[in-house]
Structure 1
């Protein structure tokens, strides 16, 4: 887990603090957007583009949602919106990396048109990172 999302001995960052950092773009790339439910107006995660481990000029799709909203289609909806934006912004191809054991995220990536490549990075502690790509 990145240091800015680790909970310290005093319980920080809290969920409210993380929500505020996503809303205000503190600690986040300018191309990561808060995923907010319209009806409730609560931030449930983020989705966007980051400078990833793909090819130069081809950013990586990144998303992460709170566990309480998993399986409700929000990741797919957010990823689709980011892909539409990326296409209209002139990107021709995007990457996404995912742990091999993360079947839910792999399904989201497949639903929005990413395909797995032969490229992999093996980490003896965390598992294998798979590289996926999608032409726009």
Structure 2
């Protein structure tokens, strides 16, 4: 894995993937992620009845929200040069102070190929080299695939949970670096 020099654009590289800031024209990939989300995901994270967020709204978000350039990086396959989702760190406010949350989401068509695990391992190394000592990740109890990825990359479930009768229980996991 390679990491860009301090102050430069973030670039993480694995054998098959590049993790890098989003480009505005890739908003169509983000929109596809929104359309594929499980119906159990809360409505504010799915396309609403009026079709929001639109591609234009997502383009604006990529252009203006720093999270798409320094936190949730685009996951690009090196061989085909296509963006297949995101992986990175966010300060969700749900973990402990100074301990960001690992987040990832990939298009359904690339599930079960090891990309989420590979991207997550690159982000973990980036976090370690950036001085973080521990990360958090939250996952719905019904999301078996993401729970498997988190276990593969060394996260363990804690006793902390947020129960939601409609959308499922959110499990809190953590990993020391």
Q: TM-score range by the shorter chain?
A: 0.7 to 0.9
Q: Does 1:46 align with 2:86?
A: yes
- Cα separation, partners in 2 of 1:125 and 1:84, compared to 1, 3 Å: same
Aligned residue for 1:127, secondary structure, equals coil
Consecutive unaligned residues in structure 2, runs of 5 or more: 1-41
Consecutive unaligned residues in structure 1, runs of 5 or more: none
CA distance in 1, matches of 2:142, 2:127: 27
Structure with more of its chain in strand, by fraction: 1
1:1-136, aligned counterparts within 5 Å?
A: 3=44, 6=47, 9=50, 13=54, 24=62, 26-27=64-65, 29=67, 30-52=70-92, 53-136=94-177
- Give the TM-score, by structure 2 length: 0.67
Structure with the greater relative contact order (CA < 8 A, sep ≥ 6): 1 or 2? 2
CA distance in 1, matches of 2:82, 2:98: 32
CA distance in 1, matches of 2:115, 2:60: 20
Q: CA deviation at 1:13?
A: 3.2
Q: Deviations for 1:84-133, whole angstroms, at most 9, x for unmatched residues?
A: 00000000000000000101000000000000000000011100000000
Aligned residue for 1:117, secondary structure, equals strand
- Cα separation, partners in 2 of 1:119 and 1:60, compared to 1, 3 Å: same
Aligned residues, how many?
A: 133
> Is this contact kept in 2: 1:7–1:13, CA < 8 A?
no
Aligned-residue RMSD, C-alpha: 2.5
